[in-house]
């Protein structure tokens, strides 16, 4: 592997792994989908179980989502949510067949665009390269969710004392990586770059 791609692969794979592990923990701790399962069966259950938030409800009308875990009371809860759309639920109301194709095409196009941008960066643009790697890892994490289930698992719930209009949309590790990556790119764009030093022209030595 070329040295120029190592950072992209390392960061993207790390973000993808952390994202999927935390989503597994969300399913195992915030729903009853994996209750009674052991070992490999828990992993296969995480991959195969769907519609855990009962929307629409199943025939028996049983709720599969447990109560939110209050990590920091009034500010930070862990709450299982299935998001069929993009950020803030955008395009979540599209017909399922159209929505899946739309997000698959958009995700693949975005990943290809990020890869091309990364290849065009210079080796000294370390912050931009890290930003693109974080964004690609986050995009991969949510893309895997849509491939497996048709929706994205969100579970981090930030809010201010449950006040109306003071709740951040529920998100996940992949979303956080994308936001951090975008912030790094904005930060890099604000940096003042010194113009490259121009070598002084050689002066001819005076005739003896």
In a domain, 50, yes or no: yes
Whether 145 is catalytic is no
Per-residue pLDDT band at 146 (split at 50, 70, 90): very high
Q: What integer pLDDT is reported at residue 80 of this predicted model?
A: 95
In a domain, 201, yes or no: no
Give me the sign of the Cα torsion angle 103, 106, 112, 116. Answer: negative
In a domain, 122, yes or no: yes
Give me the sign of the Cα torsion angle 11, 13, 16, 22. Answer: negative
- The average pLDDT across 124-135 equals 94
In a domain, 127, yes or no: yes
Number of domains the chain contains: 1
Report yes or no: 76 and 157 within 8 Å, Cβ to Cβ.
yes
Greatest Cα pair distance, the chain, in angstroms, is 105
Q: Which of 179, 152, 131, 41 is nearest to 33 (CA)?
A: 41
Q: What integer pLDDT is reported at residue 90 of this predicted model?
A: 67
Which structural domain range is residue 179 located in? 3-190
Q: Which of 73, 71, 85, 86 is nearest to 30 (CA)?
A: 71
pLDDT at 160 over 70: yes
Whether 154 is catalytic is yes
Of residues 19, 145, 154, 157, which has the active-site annotation?
154
In a domain, 197, yes or no: no
In 38-150, beta strands by DSSP E: 69-72, 76-83
User: pTM of the prediction?
Assistant: 0.84
């Amino acid at each position: 592997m070329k040295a120029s791609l190592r950072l992209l692969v390392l960061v993207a794979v790390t973000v993808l792994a952390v994202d999927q592990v935390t989503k597994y923990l969300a399913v195992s701790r915030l729903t009853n989908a994996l209750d009674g399962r052991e070992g490999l069966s828990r992993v296969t259950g995480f991959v195969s179980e769907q519609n855990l938030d009962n929307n629409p409800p199943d025939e028996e009308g049983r709720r599969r989502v447990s109560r939110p875990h209050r990590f920091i009371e009034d500010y930070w809860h862990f709450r299982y949510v299935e998001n069929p759309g993009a950020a803030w639920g955008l395009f979540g109301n599209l017909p399922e067949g159209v929505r899946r194709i739309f997000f698959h095409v958009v995700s693949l196009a975005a990943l290809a665009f990020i890869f091309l941008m990364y290849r065009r960066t210079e080796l000294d643009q370390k912050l931009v390269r890290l930003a693109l790697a974080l964004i690609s890892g986050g995009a991969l994490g949510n893309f895997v969710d849509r491939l497996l289930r048709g929706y994205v698992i969100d579970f981090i719930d930030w809010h201010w004392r449950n006040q109306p209009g003071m709740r951040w949309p529920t998100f996940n590790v992949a979303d956080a990586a994308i936001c951090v990556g975008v912030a790094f790119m904005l930060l890099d764009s604000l940096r003042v770059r010194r113009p490259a030093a121009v070598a002084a022209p050689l002066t001819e030595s005076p005739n003896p």
